[in-house]
Amino acid sequence: MKSLRARIIFHVFHKIGVSKRINTSFWKFLGLKIGQDTYIGKNTKVTWPHQVELGNNCRLEHGIYFHYDGIYSQGPSICIGNDVFIGNNTEFNITDRITIGSNCLIAAGCRFVDHNHGLEKSMLIRNQLAPKNEIVLEEDVWLGCNVVVLIGVKIGKGAVIAAGSIVNKNIPSYEIWGGVPAKKIGKRKTT
C-alpha cells in the first residue's frame, strides 16, 4: 500500500512538473546558469556546471551529457540561447566553446565535438596536442536525430541537417544538408 501511495504521489508531482523544478533547482545550486522557464530532464550529466549557460524557455530531455573536457577555467563555454529544444541522449563534448542560437531544435542522440587529435607520425596520437575550434549554430537551426557536428563548424541561420549526418564543414543559412559527410541536398523555400 505504501509503495502504491508513493507511486501515485510521484506521478502527480511529475505531471505538474515538480520533479523538473527540483532537478532544475539542483543544477542552479551547482552553478549551472539557467534562464526562466527552462527545464532539464532527469539523468543529465554535467562535468563542470559553471561551464553551461541555458537561455529562457528551453526544454532539455533526459540523459543529456554536458562534458567540458578540460581543467577548471572560467565559463561558460557551452552557451545555449532561448527557446531551444534538446532531445534525449545528446552529448556536448567541448574543449573550446559551443554557441547555440535561439529557437534551435536538436533531436535525440546528437553529438557535438569541438576538438580532435594530432596526426603527426613521429609521436603517439594520445600524446599530441589536440586542435580545438568553436562550434556555432545560428538561430532557427534544426538537427535531425543522431547528427554529429565536428570541430570548427558553423551552421547558418535556418539550416536543416538530415538525421544521421556528419557535419564537418560550414553550412550556409537556409540550406538543407544530409549524408556522411554532409552535403547540400536542398534549400528551404519561401512561402
Point out the residues that are catalytic: 117
Cell 519561401, located at residue = 190
84-93 CB burial, b ≥16 within 10 A, e <16 = bebbebbbbb
The number of angstroms, rounded, from the C-alpha of 95 to the middle of its chain's C-alpha atoms is 14
Alpha-carbon gap, residue 96 to 142, rounded angstroms: 23
Cell 523555400, located at residue = 189
Do 176 and 160 touch, CB atoms closer than 8 A? yes
Question: What single string gives the DSSP state of each residue in 27-68?
Answer: HHHTT-EE-TT-EE-TT-EES-GGGEEE-TT-EE-TT-EEEE
Count of CB atoms situated within 10 Å of the CB of 103: 19
Contacts made by residues 14-19, CB under 8 angstroms, sequence distance 24+: none
